[in-house]
Amino acid sequence: MKAVIRQWVRGAIVALASMAIYAIALGCYTALMLLVVSMEEGADNLTVGTTSLTQAVVLLSEGSGFRTDSFTLTITPLMLTILLIWLINALTMRIKAYGPHAYVAGLVVWLGLNEVFRQSVHLGLVDDQWLVLLKAAIVFSIGFLCAAVPESAKMRAFRDWTRKQVPADIRHCLKIGVALAVAILGIYLAIGLITVIVWAVRNHAAVVSLFGLSGMETGSRILTTVAMLIWLPNVMLWAVSWLFGGGFAIGDLASFTLWLGQSKELPAIPVFGILPEPVSSELWRTVALNAPLAIAALVGLLAVFLPQGFACRPLNIRNASTRGPVLVSLIYSAGSFCLSAMLISLASTLLFALSNGSLGDHRLAHIGVDVMASTRVVGHSTALGFTAAWLLALIGTALVFSIGWLVGRINDSRTTAATPKTVIVRQARSLASQPQESKEEQDDKHEPTDPSGTGLGLS
């Protein structure tokens, strides 16, 4: 009983400590930003709304948007969501609240805190009560379970069972498939970050102009720019879709693709200043559109041939004793590529859907990417890249086998053709090595013999 109570207490501490650290840090920054803005703009003391705004942002980071008289905000700041999940995960591991009782107690406390925030916020929430609490429960569950599940006794028993029941080759195939999916998604997100940085560098003058139109001073510009970073993962995902041919839209007011950068009457929000122009170079557009295919093909080839992957050695196909492992490596790599392509498609769909939102109810009701089109350009190109990598490995192995087989056939035919010549040469050498008879000896052999024995010829 004491152990159960201890787990309840640990779970409640995880929820309370996570929310306290997160809300206090977020509230301090919000208060500082509102104070600087009110001082530089000469407006009323905006810090009186710090508590309500902090509570609304906490709920927004869990996926629950809010509306004011002038706008509606439902774009989840994925940077804050990631930080919140990481905080819950870190505290769970630190306090070692791994049991189901700790999870239930922590979830109840977490939902209670979110309900207090929901009732205290003065801004109008877009979602109903049950949906707000459901999203909060999902966030807490992800952070908690990512720390508790790997350390649980059932997970250790499951790992032991898989080691005994599942062959090592299959487990290696599954691990490589997951690792490839994570690696390629990481590469895509890194490319998205680089693209956003390029946008910011190229269009910084437009951002400065929008700051000037808004009348913001230096302090307000710095703090609001830092605040905009909470949506950096969202913009990175939009950049990935834009770069690979999908594009994104700002409601009905603007749409951005590699071929089109059209906008009209966009709100004077400084972050909109970094949005890209169309790419005029046909070469760069071709490179961008084929980037996921090339990345997947390169990563796939490395997975096939590297020792950490499937360690396929095409040269071993020449020998019958080492031919089996080569074929097995190709078969398992095909399965691993299929798993990776499926995981990348599912993860892309989820991430693109989470990155979208709205800034209004009419023309700005949808901001972000077309989820299905963006998933198609990412998943389809990645699958083609994996297919190209596997076909290259298969063709290379087949060429090595064909060349080895042809060389062997040629050697055999040469050996067969050389055998009669060798016999003739050996016979000639044998005859040449025998002693030569003189002409007198040859005549004696051919001289007729006297049958009477007198040695006299008959006349």
Convert the pLDDT of each residue in 301-320 to its tens digit.
999 988 888 888 777 666 66
| Domain contains 338 | no
Name the least confident of 74-78, 200-204, 251-255, 265-269.
265-269
Q: Which helix (H) or strand (E) holds 317?
A: none
Higher-pLDDT residue of 361 and 292 is 292
pTM (2 d.p.): 0.86
Instruction: Tell me the mean pLDDT in the region 142-163.
Output: 86
| Domain contains 301 | no
- Tell me the range of 39-43, 65-69, 250-254, 335-339 where mean pLDDT is highest: 335-339
Rounded to whole angstroms, the Cα distance separating 251 from 351 reads: 19
| Domain contains 389 | no
Largest CA-CA distance found in the chain, in angstroms, rounded? 164
Task: Give the residue ranges of DSSP H helices in 203-281.
Answer: 204-214, 218-228, 232-243
| Domain contains 133 | yes
Instruction: Tell me the mean pLDDT in the region 267-281.
Output: 85
Query: What pLDDT is stored for residue 408 in this prediction?
Result: 66
Residue 8 identity (one-letter amino acid): W
Name the least confident of 82-86, 377-381, 396-400.
396-400
* E strand segments, 123-222: 124-125
Q: Report whether 113 contacts 137 (CB < 8 A).
A: no
Average pLDDT, the chain: 84
Above 80 in pLDDT, residue 409? no
| Domain contains 38 | yes
Q: Is residue 454 very low, low, confident or very high in pLDDT (cuts 50, 70, 90)?
A: very low
Above 50 in pLDDT, residue 161? yes
Q: Is residue 329 very low, low, confident or very high in pLDDT (cuts 50, 70, 90)?
A: confident
Q: Report whether 75 contacts 357 (CB < 8 A).
A: yes
SS3 426: helix
Name the least confident of 11-25, 179-193, 201-215, 285-299.
201-215
Number of independent structural domains in the chain: 1
Q: Which helix (H) or strand (E) holds 358?
A: none
| Domain contains 274 | no
73: containing domain: 1-165
| Domain contains 127 | yes
| Domain contains 211 | no
Higher-pLDDT residue of 450 and 54 is 54
